[in-house]
Amino acid sequence: MKFCIDAGHCSAGEDTGAQGNGLLEQDITWLVSDKLRSLLEVAGQSVVMTREYKDHILGKTEEESLNRRSRICNDAKCDWFISIHGNSVKNPASHGTEVLVYAFGGQAEKLADTVQNEIVVKLGTYDRGVKEKNCSVLRKTNCPAILVETAFLSNEADSLLLRYQHSDFAEAIFKGICKHCGIKVQERYSYHNTVNQMILDGVTSVENMQYWEQNLDDGTKLMKNVCTIIERYQELLKESKKVR
């Protein structure tokens, strides 16, 4: 499958995003999109980015920038369009996650439902639901398209999630996509991640892992157990970093 990931807004020009609590929307959308790209690629999917790098400017005017996004998706004949944004309003109390679609009743709405649910569960954000909205990027793309309003930059608690847990937003969106689009990657994905992490941490080496796989009778079962232990170790490590 081919995914078009649209990191909302640009770092300069007429299409810059919202600001709030020291965050720039275009920076957050880039971080989430870039992580989502690698997750999908590791899962064997092909990805087209509208912004190919962080400071990529897509047009002189806002209209030009928006039109370019749907054109990139349509020209590449992508199967799904995923636009990433952050919300912002005057009232600092408004908070939560919502996913937008051009119209209810199609594949986009179903994907939006799954993605919305995964984010709310993983991040604990307030569930504002899936909404219809006449956005240029949703209207002008040929394939099913969703626009993820991750959380509110203008709300203090939400902004902390965006600042420190942007990877978790990407992971939740990825999980929602996998569920709806039938991408089965969980085992391979976590296997690769844990092995990479073990090598990076110096817990083992590439040669060591190969030896285990080749020379132990029940290599597969053993690997699964090792992965579970290492995943828990990674979680604990992450938690301890947050505390510090």
Residue 69 found at the interface with Zn ion (CB under 5 A): no
- Reading the block at residue 239, the tokens are 């938690």
Alpha-helical (H) ranges within the chain are 25-42, 62-75, 107-123, 136-140, 156-164, 166-181, 186-200, 206-215, 219-243
Report the nearest approach of Zn ion to the CB of residue 182 (Å). Answer: 29
Query: Over the range 43-78, which residues count as b (16 or more CB within 10 Å of their CB) and which as e?
Result: bebebbbbbeeeeeebbeebeebbbbbbebbeebeb
For 226, list phi and psi in degrees, rounded to 5.
-60, -45
Least distance (Å) from Zn ion to the CB of residue 28?
10
8 vs 176 by CB, closer to Zn ion: 8
Complex with Zn ion: residue 114 or 154, whichever CB lies closer = 154
Q: Using CB under 5 A, which of 3, 6, 7, 8 touches Zn ion? A: 8
Stretch of residues binding Zn ion (CB under 5 A), selected from 15-23, 55-63, 102-110, 121-129: 15-23
Pick the piece of the chain touching Zn ion (CB under 5 A) from 13-21, 33-41, 58-66, 183-191. Answer: 13-21
DSSP 8-state class, residue 217: T
Task: Look up residue 59 and give its two tokens.
Answer: 């047009």
| Smallest distance, Zn ion to C-beta of residue 109, A | 20
CB nearer to Zn ion: give 32 or 185. Answer: 32
85 binds Zn ion, rule: CB under 5 A? yes
Give the chain's length.
Answer: 244
Closest chain position to Zn ion (CB): 85
Choose one: 16-24, 51-59, 121-129, 158-166; the region binding Zn ion (CB under 5 A). 16-24
3-state secondary structure of 128: strand
CB of 111 to Zn ion, least distance (A): 19
x/- track of binding to Zn ion for residues 156-175 (CB under 5 A): --------------------
The site for Zn ion, by CB under 5 A, has a size of 3
Question: What one-character-per-residue DSSP string does 173-211 give?
Answer: HHHHHHHHHT---HHHHHHHHHHHHHHHTTS--HHHHHH
CB of 178 to Zn ion, least distance (A): 25
Which range in 6-14, 69-77, 131-139, 214-222 contacts Zn ion by CB under 5 A? 6-14
**Which amino acid makes up residue 73?**
C
Binding site for Zn ion (CB under 5 A): 8, 17, 85
